[in-house]
Structure 1
Amino acid sequence: MKNKQNDLTALQSEQLINLSEYGLRYLGDIPIRDSKDIVKSRIGVGFETLDRQMFDPEKVYPHLAKLGAKFARVQTGWSRCETSKGVYDFTWLEEIVDQLIEVGVEPLFSLSFGNTLYCTDAEHESAVGYVPLYYGEEATQAWRNYLTALAETFKGRVRSWEVWNEPNISQFWYPKEPDPTAYAELVRISAKAVRSGHPSARIIGGAMSKLDSHFLEAILQCGIAKHIDAFSFHPYQLVPEDNMLNMHAVIRRLLDKYSDGKDIEIWQGENGCPSQTEGHNDDWLGLYDTDQVVQAKWVVRRILCDLKNDYDMALYFHAVDLMARPYRQSDGKERKPVMMGLVHGDSYEPKYSFEAMQRVCTLFDSDSHVEELYCQFLEPNPARPSLCGRMGGPMSASFTRKGVPLVALWLTEDPQQKRPAEEIDLVFWCDSNLKFDEPVLADIMTGRIYDVAPLLSPFVPGRKDVGLRCRIPLPDYPLILTDRSVFDEFGGMVDSQ
């Protein structure tokens, strides 16, 4: 463990900036809130694969209590619940649900995968990806009965129910090729079965791998909008910000086109980044130089990007590495472990990404509202000082929290490039009704807060009312420009020195 910590310290030293070196005075650290202390949020984590017992949940609950995420996505495991036809044992699932609620996290159900009692050719005991519709009326009716029993058991404890996982790819839709018509039918019968036992259940459809707009439009043409309250998808990508606003706009347009006025939420339902380059299942992402610090940068950028683009849910996959048992998909073959966890899958110790996620969860719960504030990046032309050009890659995500601005600033370079921080001119105009008397700059990766006031100057000399300008370092992870008072809500800054 000591060697791991030494390695992490070296990575932090190489990839993170020290704002003291830019003349900023250290004030304290960002305070962290427990999950129970956060009333409402859009941020959640994956807690999937317990149908296959891929990790020990008992070792993860204490971490979830400290993380600050308010949702956990849990797969319900039909094969594990019904081992004799018509007989259900939900004990294992009830323990998970009750423990999550106990630590302040709301469970979300993913209704996914078949049952070897009915899908008799399944390659694995959990029948990953096997669709009951393809096994006749007995299997389809058994699926209905299972969902009704599940809904009756968890009514009052589980509000949200998502139908299947990634039905648009063969890894999770089997034994036939992905079929929008068949998936729409599965949603229809599943929604009806769940609501027969839990009338107020919120149904989520899609759970789509990436954004497959043709598949989405096809299932909407089949009438799926009548049965769902939210649409979810899994936009895995190396650079978190790539095309996320466009994807949200495309989904919103198609949902509105086919929903007949019904308001359907849009969820970023699964997304993650490994903490190592090799030796895991997700090398298909095209990774070339990732590590714990790169993962942590990716996590905070992903969540802030989702919130900026107004997704109704932002779920990070996964709470812990999946390595307790061999990982399998529909073909039943053993795969390498999944190493996207916020917690190490061997030691069950938090990774660096866990700490970074804690700070995001603390600051960006539902009391922090997306609100466009005037924020512009400028780079002076040394040859012609009167001219300015826009620098490639900078991004801002602005929020307000109880009358205080909360503005995240970062470079959108692929974090694996490990690009050094750039100095850039920032112009920021704070609305007159917002408190910005003691401006500070908080480093979301280190948690350290600095007094930024010495760097600020009026954009127009003598005219503070038209905005402030400062030259700041801009790394490939978020710095948070806000007022010192925002931390008073959480008991004030923490002194770590």
Structure 2
Amino acid sequence: MGKAWIATIICLIASASAMAQEAALEQRLVLIGEVAPKSAREIARNDWSIGTETIDRDFSRYEAWRDYLGPLGAKHARLQSGWARTERQPGMYDFTWLDPVVAGIAADGVRPWFTLGFGNPAIPGGGSAQRDSDLPRGAARRAWLAYVRAIVTRYRDQVDYWELWNEPELIGKFTAEEFGEFAAETAQTVRSAQPDATISIAGFSGLGSAEGNAFIRQATRTFVARGGRGLAQVVGIHIYNPRPEGANDALDALIADLHTIDPGLVLRQGESGAPSINQPLFALSNLWWTEEAQAKWVLRRMLNDAARGMWTSVFTLTDLHYSVAAERGAGFNASQARKTAAVALNSKGLLETRRYDPSGRNDDKQVVRAKMGYRAMQSVTSIFDARLKPVAAPCRASDANVTVAAFRRDDGASAIVAWRSSDRPGEKPHHQSVDISCTGVRLADAPLYVDLLTSAVYRTDGVAESKGDTLQLTALPVYDAPVVVSDAVLVEMW
């Protein structure tokens, strides 16, 4: 046989082998559908919240985004209390701006909750309506407590969770001790008006700095010394790291310290999000964000927190049209670039608004479309309701840069979530094949593979195998957004 014939036969064998491998790969993951979103009314309970903030300062408008809230699937929505908008004249409350918002959110099957915060310039000593406001002092403190009693009493049938002030450690106008005293006094007022309320000492965001860490711990010590253990059940944390998992070690250290102060305290993540464009102001500014990177960040924030058993709120539903003048004048915006910023659009929304105009003359907060992150979050809320809980099943990936978490319902239905967590979302978006083993969790035959970013659902063949009490996932495609391998019963498709 001539060399040409031998070469031809070798090529045919190689081609047949390649075709066989390709056919095998085609059968390992076969696209069969898309995750079907569930509205909040279709979900009994979950621990997902969405930010619906800043209506109090007219940086967003309820009417512009209300139709998008229920279909998102989050069962909780954060509001801000708007003291300055409600009490424009001392002692006279006008809740007509807020009543339809609270009622409308509740009608969508979503539980509203409030941050009680920001001051009131109509009250002498009441601070300002902006996010760098001082605490109300003197006679204004009595006016503040009267307002707190009024708003809690008014909405206690629809609202059961109250967070006390927003990011106090960033403001620089009072000490941790002063804030702890103020928060305890406020919490006692909430508790007297609603004895079964869930109360968060604050929404702190200083976890990444030594000063912030010290403020959180000292404020909590003062709060408990003033009000006693059990007055609050929660310490709220606002987490902003370029890599969502970057705060995990600090969170572990914080909860350990908080339990020495009050063993009943738990952490809730009350505000966290990422921009969809590079912006000059606000958290995670001056980084090159895209809409896809934002969606990946939100997914990683949600699944990271869920794996830790932590209730979490995504910031935010719609892009927010902040005041340029207010942001330029805020004390924590100290750099020259921030002091001269021309745009104060906060693009952390999952919905894009029509037009931002710094002058306000041609501003348009109407929603024009949902971003990628909106659809991605729908897939999370559709699959991960309150029945699906994190389990302490030891999981190990062949690549140490891959995070793996296991979840299980009481009926045994289970899911494994994996993503590459070593870099900021979008920096290294390539897929890789990873082997994963988990002990103490099993999947039924032919589990599904779900790409949460695209909502695509695939049938698997030869990906998962259970041996005794060990689950083995072989050559699983993983990248910098979470993927799910789950029992089919957990995933509804359309």
Identify whether the pair has TM-score above 0.5, normalized to the shorter chain: yes
CA distance, structure 2, for counterparts of residue 116 and residue 52 of structure 1: 13
**How far 1:20 moved relative to its partner?**
7.6
Q: 1:241 is paired with a residue of what secondary structure?
A: helix
Taking the TM superposition and a 5 Å limit, the aligned residue runs for 1:152-231 are: 152-170=153-171, 176=173, 178-211=174-207, 212-224=212-224, 226=229, 227-231=231-235
CA distance, structure 2, for counterparts of residue 409 and residue 79 of structure 1: 45
CA 286–63 in structure 1, closer or farther in 2 if over 3 Å, else same: closer
Give the equivalent residue in structure 1 for 2:247.
243
Amino acid corresponding to residue 203 of structure 1 in structure 2: I
Among candidates 93, 102, 110, match of residue 88 of structure 1: 93
Amino acid corresponding to residue 199 of structure 1 in structure 2: P
**How far 1:247 moved relative to its partner?**
2.7
Give the equivalent residue in structure 2 for 1:406.
415
Give the equivalent residue in structure 2 for 1:440.
448
Give the equivalent residue in structure 1 for 2:306.
307
Give the equivalent residue in structure 2 for 1:354.
374
RMSD (Å) for aligned C-alpha atoms: 2.4
CA 289–325 in structure 1, closer or farther in 2 if over 3 Å, else same: closer
Indicate if the aligned counterparts of 1:60 and 1:320 stay in contact, CA closer than 8 A.
yes
Among candidates 66, 72, 76, match of residue 71 of structure 1: 76
CA 317–274 in structure 1, closer or farther in 2 if over 3 Å, else same: same
Write the deviation string for residues 375-428 of structure 1: whole angstroms up to 9, x where unpaired. Answer: 3222xxxxxxxxxxxx24101121013311111111012113133111222334
Indicate if the aligned counterparts of 2:48 and 2:312 stay in contact, CA closer than 8 A.
yes
Write the deviation string for residues 189-225 of structure 1: whole angstroms up to 9, x where unpaired. Answer: 1112223322222211131113132112212331436
CA distance, structure 1, for counterparts of residue 445 and residue 351 of structure 2: 38
Q: Which deviates the most, 212-221 or 138-147? A: 212-221
Q: 1:290 is paired with a residue of what secondary structure?
A: coil
Instruction: For structure 2, list consecutive stretches of 5 or more residues without a partner in the other structure.
Output: 1-23, 331-338, 355-365
Write the deviation string for residues 237-288 of structure 1: whole angstroms up to 9, x where unpaired. Answer: 10011131x23322221221111x4x1221111111000123x523x52543
CA 469–33 in structure 1, closer or farther in 2 if over 3 Å, else same: closer
Taking the TM superposition and a 5 Å limit, the aligned residue runs for 1:378-417 are: 378=398, 391-401=399-409, 402-412=411-421, 413-417=423-427
CA distance, structure 2, for counterparts of residue 465 and residue 315 of structure 1: 34
Give the equivalent residue in structure 1 for 2:267.
266
Give the equivalent residue in structure 1 for 2:45.
40
Amino acid corresponding to residue 59 of structure 1 in structure 2: A
CA distance, structure 2, for counterparts of residue 81 and residue 329 of structure 1: 22
1:372 counterpart = 2:392: yes
Q: Which deviates the most, 219-228 or 368-377? A: 219-228
Write the deviation string for residues 28-81 of structure 1: whole angstroms up to 9, x where unpaired. Answer: 221211011111111101111111011121121211110011111111111101
Give the equivalent residue in structure 2 for 1:16.
none
Amino acid corresponding to residue 319 of structure 1 in structure 2: L
Number of matched residues?
Answer: 439
Indicate if the aligned counterparts of 1:327 and 1:338 stay in contact, CA closer than 8 A.
no
**How far 1:437 moved relative to its partner?**
1.7
Amino acid corresponding to residue 308 of structure 2 in structure 1: N
Write the deviation string for residues 165-186 of structure 1: whole angstroms up to 9, x where unpaired. Answer: 001012xx5xx2x411110111
**How far 1:228 moved relative to its partner?**
1.2
Q: 1:285 is paired with a residue of what secondary structure?
A: coil
Write the deviation string for residues 432-472 of structure 1: whole angstroms up to 9, x where unpaired. Answer: xx5512222111111111122234467xxxx5765434112
Give the equivalent residue in structure 1 for 2:348.
340
- TM-score, with structure 1 as normaliser: 0.82
CA distance, structure 2, for counterparts of residue 330 and residue 144 of structure 1: 30
Among candidates 468, 479, 482, match of residue 478 of structure 1: 482
Give the equivalent residue in structure 2 for 1:453.
461
Indicate if the aligned counterparts of 1:430 and 1:436 stay in contact, CA closer than 8 A.
no
Q: 2:33 is paired with a residue of what secondary structure?
A: strand
Indicate if the aligned counterparts of 1:127 and 1:330 stay in contact, CA closer than 8 A.
no
CA 240–148 in structure 1, closer or farther in 2 if over 3 Å, else same: same
CA distance, structure 2, for counterparts of residue 87 and residue 317 of structure 1: 32
**How far 1:90 moved relative to its partner?**
1.2
Q: 1:251 is paired with a residue of what secondary structure?
A: helix
Give the equivalent residue in structure 1 for 2:430.
420
Give the equivalent residue in structure 2 for 1:105.
110
**How far 1:493 moved relative to its partner?**
2.5
Indicate if the aligned counterparts of 1:289 and 1:416 stay in contact, CA closer than 8 A.
no
Indicate if the aligned counterparts of 1:79 and 1:127 stay in contact, CA closer than 8 A.
no
CA 239–325 in structure 1, closer or farther in 2 if over 3 Å, else same: same
Q: 1:72 is paired with a residue of what secondary structure?
A: strand
**How far 1:486 moved relative to its partner?**
2.3
Instruction: For structure 1, list consecutive stretches of 5 or more residues without a partner in the other structure.
Output: 1-18, 379-390
CA distance, structure 1, for counterparts of residue 199 and residue 254 of structure 2: 17
CA distance, structure 2, for counterparts of residue 319 and residue 427 of structure 1: 36
Indicate if the aligned counterparts of 1:35 and 1:65 stay in contact, CA closer than 8 A.
yes
Indicate if the aligned counterparts of 1:54 and 1:327 stay in contact, CA closer than 8 A.
no
Amino acid corresponding to residue 423 of structure 1 in structure 2: S
Write the deviation string for residues 110-144 of structure 1: whole angstroms up to 9, x where unpaired. Answer: 1111111224696x6x254333443x2x1111111
CA distance, structure 1, for counterparts of residue 430 and residue 130 of structure 2: 47
Indicate if the aligned counterparts of 1:324 and 1:345 stay in contact, CA closer than 8 A.
no
Amino acid corresponding to residue 449 of structure 1 in structure 2: V
CA 426–115 in structure 1, closer or farther in 2 if over 3 Å, else same: same
Among candidates 109, 117, 120, match of residue 122 of structure 2: 117
1:51 counterpart = 2:56: yes
Give the equivalent residue in structure 1 for 2:9.
none
Taking the TM superposition and a 5 Å limit, the aligned residue runs for 1:20-39 are: 23-39=28-44
CA distance, structure 2, for counterparts of residue 43 and residue 465 of structure 1: 31
Among candidates 235, 252, 256, match of residue 255 of structure 2: 252
1:129 counterpart = 2:111: no
Indicate if the aligned counterparts of 2:201 and 2:234 stay in contact, CA closer than 8 A.
yes
Q: 1:243 is paired with a residue of what secondary structure?
A: helix
- TM-score, with structure 2 as normaliser: 0.83
Indicate if the aligned counterparts of 2:119 and 2:136 stay in contact, CA closer than 8 A.
no
